Structure 1
Amino acid sequence: MGFFDCIYFFTPIIVKAEEEDINFKRINIEDGLSQASVESIFQDNYGYMWFGTEDGLNRYDGHNFDVFKYEGSKKNNINGIISNIVSDVLQDKDGDLLIATSKGLSKIDNKTGKIVSYTYDEKNNNSLSHYNIWDIFIDSKNRIWVGTENGLNIFFKEKGTFKRIYIKETNLNGDPNNFVTSIEEDGKGNIWVGTKDGLEKYDEKNNKFLRVDLGNLSNINLQYVSKIYKDKNNHLWIGTKDNGLFELDEEGNKINRFQKEEENPFGIPSNTIRAVYEDEIGNIWIGTDRGLAKYLGNNKFITYKNSLYNPQSLTNDQINTIFEDKSGIVWVGTNNGISTFNPKTIFKHYKRTQGKNSFSDNMIQGIYEDKDGELWIGTNSGGLNRFNRKNNNIKIYKHDEDQNSISDDTVWTVTGKDDEIWIATSYGLNKLNKKTNTFTNYYNDGTDKSLIWNEVKSLYIDREGILWIGTRNGLCTFDRKDSFKSYNFIFDNNGIIDKFITSIYEDDSGVMWFGSAINGGVTSYNKSTGQVKNYKSEESDDSLSINSIKAITGDKLGNLWIATNYGLNKFDRKTKGFSRYTEKLGLANNFVYGVLIDNEGNPWVSTNGGICKLDIVKNKFISFNITDGLQNNEFNAYSFHKSKSGEMFFGGINGFNSFYPGKLQEETFLPKVVIKDFLISGNHKDIRENIILNYNQNFFSFEFFLPDYRNVTKTNYAYKLDGVDKSWIYSNNRNYANYTNVRPGKYRFLVKARNATGEWSDPTVIDVMIKNPPWQTPMAYTLYIIIIIIIVIFIWNRMNILEGLVRQRTLELNNKLDENEELYNKLIKIERYKNNYFVNLSHELRTPLNVILATVQLINEFNSKGKKITKDKLAYYMDALKGNSDRLLRLINNIIDTSKIESGTYRLHITEVDIVYLVEEVALSMKNYIESKGIELIIDPEIEEKAIECDRGEIERCVVNLIGNAVKFTKEGGTIEVVIKDNIDTVDIIVRDTGIGIDEKYHKAIFNRFGQAYNSITEEHGGSGLGLTLVNQLVKLHKGDIKLKSKLGEGSEFTITIPVKQNIDNNDID
């Protein structure tokens, strides 16, 4: 039988580039960077990343940027740096940041955040030798070296002065000998200086520079030195502007030179070197104007460049600076933003590239390694790829209608045995014989002995060598006799409608397991007994998480691991129970495509959020995404395979990855969360120490971040405020916490984070104290007690005086009883009113007094027994004391005011007032209270506004008393109506209710404080009788009048009439 194949060859260069492919993550202006040309990168002690650009200094926490810019020429500007063109950033031993700019040096104080700047002053020899700084360096003695356009400087921070050191004594601006471009210290403590005119070594003892003539050693003229860098072996790397890269050994006597060679694909990409950096694992990275180069040793480099249509390529080929942070991420500053990558990734990335030497498609849908180690890769529309990794040879098999070829270019999965490769496609099953390179195609021809359905999705060869075939509409097998057999009865006889078979697996006892794509769940079939069991999702957590299955495999313990559209499931074959693993437990994404088990028994899964490893010992997930070298965060179904050597393969939408799980090293880097900012009602507050707030500063929030930039989007946070939160609040990737209306007290804020490794960091802790308000301090409580005692004494004395007055007047009346019978009867009535008055008054006074005395007694009992009173209980007692004290005070004020009016010493405060607005305002303020009693309030002013002369406070007092009196005597379901009428020269304020009413015989007496209409109903409601008496007196002071219309059982209507103009005696006006 014939076959059709397209043969392509990988040259060693191309394959090397594939194996060393890096997925870069980009950070640019759209993410908040102030300007695209990044000249310097640094990480401070807190974990912030700092980027110097040509338009400002940027601080980055993985979430947001804070930009520092020039803000005017004011000296010691607290907020602004001296120039927006930033060339270098470093941090000294005190934690202060040093910023090199085009106009001088700026220092950000670590403790205060204050910015102090230094520049060139031609009149001050202790200033910088030039304002334009190119490099800052801190040596092993913590001395700060500053390289400028005109000489070298040592900065004495404590004094704020500089020592100028010139390479050439000409001291002329523009002299290339004095133009310092780079500073470095070798392993012996010598300072090396690069200039526009060459390389210099500083002889500190003799205060002179020794020219290092590399030109004689390499027979070239060195000239412009752009970068000096010392690696871990104490080798010096010398980068130049046009003459390539030099490597000096520890002694400085031997040199290697690297120059661009047009015909050498492993050569350095450019002779202009802009940056050199050695990462944690020893890789030397070279930044040029033609891309980023990695030194491979033996004079070989691999170069990474920007690719227009590849967003995972380097963002720009103009490299300015390279830096590795504490988590191992390498940051590359370019002329078009920042590129980051992880050099320690274990993942190899294979994908289609431009040109003919490539895979047929990046959409990978099936991977299989045969007995010879060749990879067979199925694609979405590019047919089948055969990749021999030993000789780097690729063959591509595509469908050809004119030849006997692969039946379809959409390949779903691949498997094989011996020299037979089985390929599932969208149209037919294919067998490829490796020896003969011939295809055999199998289709559904409508008979029972043919393929059950043409769209084949899954393949599995059991221990007996039988091929199990899952299709879009059924299951069948193919045996060695070239015979197909349908197994649809497994589903049809058990009511399983979904026969879209996505996964097939045979466990160690020979039981077959099938996964259905839509709603069929997992089905087991015992080949020996014919027993069928179906497992589906139920409400209980120990069932399958969802019925849509992507993959099934097993571990050495006999457990089944099932990939679904909603998480990973483990099935315990002994207990018949499922365990669910979802995003809540650290899974990167709930849509799981494939699952493989490594040699340690740990499941690895491909998802829509990258690849995850489930550590079965620690029961935690470790996540990997595109920044770790994955082809993409999104993977594909059917596209996973584990080789006999333990190598794993996962395919997705941008090629496929291979890796050895055993090469994954345990990450020990786990920093603590940094509390970035503290805001009070949206305003920033310094948080360098513990936080102390006033009582009214109880709306606040925290912002925080984890200084681990490996996978920022997958960082999860948890926080709590002890004393407010009962347990940890898990906020996923949200990096802030808000708190409102927090009561005074001492609190402790804790925040922690879980990074991509699944480990939680130790909590970061900061104490927060909210002070008590002035009225809740110990001094205030002492004052309250003193005031209460004074009030009690005052009331007691006042009651004694009143009782004496009653006895005196009673005696006088008794003496005149015989002279006037009528007067006697009147006095008897007055006496009865008085008794009622004092009984009610005593009751009104006794109730709050009892509460006050009881509360004081409780407090004394606590003190005498040495018991501590909780804040909440003490606050409750104080509220009780204050409330009842206020009640006593109001009663006493009424008594005093009534007495003052009767004695003629009371004074009004007359102003012009809008009486309509005043009455409406008072009534509305009592609306909630009235409606809580089940009473309807109606406010019906007949005029919109009316200005009158009156004492605003006393008229308000009258209205409150009348409405309050109406509430007392109106039952639930009743109505209170407030009306205002304009009589031109006078105004009527009417309060009308539907209450119990007042008998006409009491209409006159009711305004006398000894004449309350007292009966069983009024006794139920209580009251001292002072209210209406006071209203009557205050209205009379305003030269007004008060009238009552009422009948018993028909409600009451009180009308206050007040003149618009007050022509009252001066004695009544204060």
Structure 2
Amino acid sequence: MVFVLSCIYGHAQSSLSGLPFTRNFQPVDYKAGIQNWSITQSRQGLVYIANNFGLLEFDGEQWQTFGVRNGTKVRSVALDGRGRIYVGGQGDFGFFFPDAAGKLAYTSLADSLKPEHRDFDEAWSIYIDNEKVYFCTFSNIYVYDQKTFRIIQPEGGIDHSYLVNRQLYVNQPRNGLGVLEEDRIRTIKGGEQFRNKSVAAVLPLHDNHLLVATFQEGIFTLNDGIARPWNAALQPFFKASIVNCMVRLRNGNFAVGTQNNGLMVLGPDGDLRMQLTSGRGIDNTTVLCLYEDDMSNLWVGQNNGLAYVELGSPFTFINKQMSIPGSGYAAYLQNNTLYLGTSTGVYAREKNGPPDFKLIENTRGQVYHLGQYGNDLLAGLHNGATRIDHNTGQLLSGEPGSWVYLTLQDHPNTLIEGTYAGLQRYDLVNGHWKFTKKLKGFAESSRVMAQDPSGDLWVTHGYKGAFRIRFHPTLDSIDRVQFYGADKGFPSNLLINVFNVRNELLFTSTRGIFKYDRTSDRFVPDTFFTSRLGKDEQVWFIREDALGNIYFISRSHIGVFKKNSLGDYHLEENVFAKIRKHLNDDLMNIVILQNNEVLFCAKDGFIHYDPYRTVEARSHFNTLIRKVVTSTANRDSTLFFGNYTKGDSVADRSSGKNAPELPYRNNSVNFTFAATSFEGNADPQYQYYLENYEKSWSDWSAKTQKEYTNLKEGDYVFHARSKNVNGDISAETTYAFTILAPWYRSGWAYSCYGLSILAILFAAFNFLDRKYQREQKLMEQKQQEELSQKDSALENLSQRSHEEITRLQNEKLESELQHMNNELATSTMHLLNKNEFIAGIKNQLAHIVKKNPNEEVKKELTQINKNIEQNISADDDWEHFQFHFDRVHGDFSNRFKVTFPSLSPQELKLSAYLRMNLSSKEIAQLLNISVRGVEISRYRLRKKIQLDRNKNLQDYILNF
């Protein structure tokens, strides 16, 4: 049930805002029990939740559950300054603290109690006051001072307890509201008014006033002993809602969790600012606990799930959860009524009225435009131009596709409408616009248009270009239409739009922003945007507010150029990055409302932006290393579980001392990391690098794990950092470790290697020394033997000298004989040549005799021939030559003939000449044949002696 009485519905941060961005978590997401009873957050940004299944931990990426020893439900959780996580549950309480590996380990403190104090029901609340810890049950209060317990056992039991300004307020059914003093509970002034009432919360107000919320009796202020209803008009609603919990927010408001009506945000006076319940921001009507983080956002523990409500964000959603179905396209604030146009119709609500919107009758369908023109609120609908009168729409023209309206500068009683197919004219009749006619001469779709100072109308078409239109002076028709496209300075004819910014017309395109230069009749780049966004940026939409701030959406940016008192502009864009993925990418639109609040048209309704709500510094936006796992061939081993300690406290980061040393077989290391950014569209990006392995940061990515394999021995430091959706970069976190060398490259191994080398060198030296000594002895023995041998040698030397002299004399004689034989052979060979020459002359003479007819001459020549025959004997000469030749060449002729008996005398002669190493020409002269004949004779000789064709004949004979 949503309470919507307008008389008591107060002002939220803006009366025009919607529902905050909310991230809902179901039990299937965090894999634990449905109920969540208490929430807190560590200095590192980790969120801890008391859950039915144990203690939940959330780091922005992953959930972990840590069970207490007896496996019971955890009802309460609190953190002290050292990082101890105190928890209370059924019949037990204690704390979690990281062990040496960084894993949370549970220690029960209840086990240290005496048996008579050990039996209690549930520890519903835990409060920490410096070193003092209060564990509150329904029967006892256990005060722990880090060493011992002080136990308070009030008579009549305890309802609930609350710590306010370091005082523990306790409500007792019999006595009412009191405060703990030493070992007793003193009822405060006026506290008896809460006797037999169950108190849900006690909170501080101003001037020592208290705010006391009861479960079913309403919410009261308590001052000077008097309890008064807080916002009497809402008391019935508070009672019906049943208050489960309540916290005071940093901005002075109060968040209330109820049993029946979800989450309420109340103002300082108790007025209802906001309500979130099932189907409206959160997924459950029952809220069990609340926690405001350092970003002023609210964690909501529910009966079935969790929610993260971004109360600190300047953005809110106006969507179907506020009865605005469909995509947002147009908006207008008229007086105190906000009108919104979507893909399903026009909706409206009063500024200070109930939060839900109502459909305006006769406006169903696509809505393109809303605006005030004269006295009329006009809507551009797919069905045609429509005037909105109170809660009803009246169709003005049957022409379909009403895009936009424009009042002409010098003709305030004339209105031009852009439609799917051209322009239409409306005239002001009796204070209202009335359709007059459709203007001929231009039939293009006219969704975007603006009028320049000369009176010309500019109409841009998303796929054709820009048109400059001049009307007839009577405004009954169009005199001239001039087209501007790529030939007039635009990069193309596509996606051209026109906007009136800084009192001039700007034209956006696929690349860059342009303005019209009347002198050259061309479009030139605009210096304002070009200098700030670059000449190639594609801008899709621009809107200027009353202060001169320029909001825009482009391909790479979404933000605002804020104008300061000096007229300078600076760009703010980081905060807008989170809404980009929600924007309507069909027909983009930015609407400036009163007080310069902004509406961005979204895929699902609208996004409201309050420029006066600043985003607080992200103190808990940290990057954390959550797990380090080493791997071997057989198994994985977790080295680090995500928590650093320093002494008895949790540390933000590693001290760098005592870095773990991993054996070489564990040289594969896997890191898991997270960013404590909890928004639903946080989309953190990560960078990392391993020092001594990589030289620079990795590219930004959404990966939350990085594994390194086969690392060499050495010292390493893993670095990680993250970037949130706003572009903020966290401080880097590190993890140091060492990979030890393998045994064969370890220090002791090298020592063994050194000792082994020394041993080998010693053994080698010893071996060489003994070898040297043996060789010395052998050498001495050998010298003795050599001395004795020399004596014998000297005796034989004279005898050998005599023999040698004799041998040398013989060799000299033999050499002289050999020389003489060689000379004889040579001379014999000359004689043989001479005889052969003479025999040749003899043959010539015989030939002449036969041919000469003169008998006397014949007779004389014949006589000469006989004389020659008597004086030469060739056979004797050859035999004489052969005798001396064989003596010189070791009886070659006989040996060769014996080896080859089939050789002819001519072939033996050839062999002898070859043995003398004569050339073929010389042999031809000796044999009295041609050189060709010598070659043939050589060939026949090779065949007879069967010499291999690969061997040289002359070499063979020389070596025979």
TM range (shorter): 0.5 to 0.7
**Quick one: distance in 2 between partners of 1:10 and 1:432?**
38
Q: Please name the residue that 1:943 is paired with.
A: none
* Residue 28 (structure 1) aligns with: 26
> Do structure 1's residue 193 and structure 2's residue 170 form an aligned pair?
yes
TM-score, normalised relative to structure 2: 0.64
Q: Runs of 5+ in structure 2 lacking a partner? A: 364-378, 387-393, 563-567, 645-653, 787-960
SS in 1 for 2:485: helix
Counterpart of 1:335? 303
Aligned pairs (5 A) from 1:93-112: 93-110=81-98, 112=100
Which residue of 2 is the match for residue 380 of structure 1? Answer: 343
Tell me the distance in 2 between the aligned counterparts of 1:296 and 1:14. Answer: 8
Of 686, 694, 703, 1:734 maps to 703
**Relative to 1, partners in 2 of residues 1:15 and 1:154: Cα closer, same or farther, differing over 3 Å?**
closer
- Structure-2 separation of matches of 1:271 and 1:388: 25
Q: Deviations over 1:820-853 (max 9, x none)?
A: xxxxxxxxxxxxxxxxxxxxxxxxxxxxxxxxxx
Aligned mates of 2:172, 2:337 — CA distance in 1: 54
1:763-784 CA-to-partner distances (Å, cap 9, x unmatched) read: 2234333334444455544443
The residue number in structure 2 matching 1:623 is 575
**8 Å contact kept, 1:377–1:386:** yes
Contact 2:135 2:141 in 1 (8 A): yes
**Displacement of 1:679:** 1.7
Alignment partners' CA distance in 2, 1:303 and 1:663? 17
Residue 759 of structure 2 aligns to a residue whose secondary structure is: helix
Q: Find the counterpart in structure 2 of residue 363 from structure 1.
A: 327
Aligned partner letter, 1:293: M
Quick one: structure 1 residues 510 and 325, their matched pair in 2 at CA, closer, same or farther if it must change by over 3 Å? Answer: closer
Contact 2:685–2:724 (Cα < 8 Å) also in 1 = yes
CA positional deviation for 1:614: 7.7
SS at match of 2:700: strand
Aligned: 1:19 with 2:13: no
Offset of 1:43 from its aligned partner?
0.7
Match for 2:498: what amino acid? Answer: I
Q: Which has the higher helix share?
A: 2
The alpha-carbon deviation at position 332 of structure 1 amounts to 1.0
The Cα offsets for residues 32-64 of structure 1, whole Å up to 9 and x where unpaired, read as: 241221111111232211111223321001111
Segment drifting more, 688-697 vs 658-667: 658-667
Show the counterpart of 2:895. Answer: none
The CA deviation at 1:320 is 0.6
> 1:296 — aligned with what?
267
Q: Secondary structure at the match of 1:19?
A: coil
Q: Distance in 2 between matches of 1:600 and 1:669?
A: 32
> Partner residue of 1:515?
509
Question: Could you report, residue by residue, the CA deviation over 1:447-478 in whole angstroms, capped at 9, with x for unpaired residues?
Answer: xx43331x333223334443322235453344
What's 2:162 paired with? 183
Q: Relative to 1, partners in 2 of residues 1:674 and 1:504: Cα closer, same or farther, differing over 3 Å?
A: same
Match of 1:438 among 433, 437, 451: 433
Secondary structure, counterpart of 1:558 in structure 2: helix
Change (3 A) 1:229 1:522: closer
Cα 1:394–1:506, aligned 2, differ >3 Å: closer, same or farther? same
**Equivalent residue for 1:57?**
55
Contact kept? 2:95, 2:108, Cα under 8 Å: yes
The alpha carbon displacement at 1:641 in A equals 3.7
Residue-by-residue CA offset, 1:523-556 (whole Å, 9 max, x unaligned): 76533312357x9xxxxxxxxxxxxxxxxxx7xx
Q: Hey, what does 2:815 align to over in structure 1?
A: none
Deviations 1:121-175 (A, max 9, x none): 99624x4451322111223x5321122132222234434xx4332221xxxxxxx
In the alignment, does 2:421 pair up with 1:450?
Answer: no
- For the residues of structure 1 that align with 2:295 and 2:558, how far apart are their CA atoms? 19
TM-score, length basis structure 1? 0.58
Q: Which amino acid aligns with 1:96?
A: R
The one-letter amino acid of 1:58's match is L
- Amino acid of the residue matched to residue 669 of structure 1? S
Bigger RCO of structures 1 and 2 (CA < 8 A, at least 6 apart)? 2
* CA–CA separation in structure 1 for the residues paired with 2:200 and 2:501: 64
1:362 positional shift: 3.8
2-structure distance, mates of 1:269, 1:610 = 49
Q: Does residue 460 in structure 1 map to residue 450 in structure 2?
A: yes
Q: Within 5 Å, give how 1:624-643 maps onto structure 2.
A: 624=576, 632=582, 636-642=586-592
Matched with 2:141 is 152
Distance 1:338 1:809, change over 3 A: same
Q: Match for residue 66 of structure 1?
A: 64
Shift of 1:193: 0.8
Contact residue 512 and residue 524 of structure 1 kept, 8 A: yes
Higher mean C-alpha displacement, 206-215 vs 708-717: 206-215
Matched, 1:698 2:667: yes
Q: Is the 8 A contact 1:429 1:441 kept in 2?
A: no
Structure-to-structure mapping, 1:1002-1017, within 5 angstroms: none
Contact 2:16 2:351 in 1 (8 A): no
Deviation at 1:805, TM superposition (A): 8.2
What is the rounded CA distance, in whole Å, between the counterparts of 2:541 and 2:296 in structure 1?
29
Call closer, same or farther: CA 1:788–1:735 in 2, change over 3 Å: same
Which one of 173, 176, 181 corresponds to residue 204 of structure 1? Answer: 181
2:229 paired residue among 247, 251, 256: 256
* CA 802–730 in structure 1, closer or farther in 2 if over 3 Å, else same: same
Aligned counterpart for 1:570 among listed residues 510, 515, 533: 533
> How many angstroms apart in 1 are the aligned matches of 2:204 and 2:481?
69
Which of 617, 626, 629 is equivalent to 1:667? Answer: 617
CA distance in structure 2 between the partners assigned to 1:260 and 1:339 by the alignment: 29
C-alpha displacement of 1:88:
0.8
Rate the CA distance shift 1:495–1:635 in 2: closer, same or farther, 3 A.
closer
Deviation at 1:215, TM superposition (A): 6.2
Tell me the residue number matched to 1:470. Answer: 460
Q: Does 1:164 align with 2:116?
A: no
Corresponding residue to 1:762 among 716, 728, 731: 731
- Corresponding position of 1:238: 212
Contact 1:130 1:148 in 2 (8 A): yes
Q: Secondary structure at the match of 1:202?
A: strand
Find the aligned partners of 1:67 and 1:261 in 2 and give their Cα distance.
39
Report the CA distance between 1:287 and its aligned residue.
Answer: 1.1
Structure 1 residue 66, shift from structure 2 partner: 0.3
Distance 1:701 1:121 in 2: 40
1:710·1:756 contact (CA, 8 Å) conserved in 2? Answer: no
Partner residue in 2 for 1:316 = 284
Q: In 2, are the aligned partners of 1:138 and 1:145 still within 8 Å (CA)?
A: yes
CA shift, 1:443, in A, is 5.8
Equivalent-residue separation in structure 2 for 1:153 and 1:390 (angstroms):
48
Aligned with 2:200: secondary structure?
A: strand
Higher Cα Rg: structure 1 or 2?
2
SS of the aligned residue for 1:149 comes to coil
TM-superposed CA distance for 1:678, in Å, is 1.8
Displacement after TM superposition at 1:240 (Å): 1.9
Q: Would you say the 8 A contact 1:723–1:747 is kept in 2?
A: yes
Deviation of 1:336 after TM superposition, in Å, equals 2.0
1:334 is displaced (CA, Å) by: 1.1
Q: Residues 717 and 754 of structure 1 are in contact (CA less than 8 Å); yes or no, is this contact kept in structure 2?
A: yes
Aligned mates of 2:427, 2:75 — CA distance in 1: 63
From the superposition, tell whether residues 512 and 238 of structure 1 become closer, same or farther in structure 2 (CA, over 3 Å). closer
The one-letter amino acid of 2:661's match is L
> Residues of 1 paired with 2:437 and 2:460: CA distance?
14
Which of 294, 299, 304 is residue 326 of structure 1 equivalent to? 294
Separation of aligned partners in 2, 1:375 and 1:131: 54
In 2 relative to 1, CA 226–14 (structure 1 residues): closer, same or farther, beyond 3 Å? closer
Residue pair 1:286, 1:292 contacting (<8 A) in 2 also: yes
The aligned counterpart of 2:498 is 504
Distance 2:52 2:173 in 1: 21
Distance 1:15 1:133, change over 3 A: closer
Residue in structure 1 matching 2:604, options 642, 654, 663: 654
| Cα offset, 1:260, TM superposition | 7.5
How high is the sequence identity, in percent, across the aligned residues?
Answer: 16
- C-alpha separation between the residues in 2 aligned to 1:650 and 1:198? 55
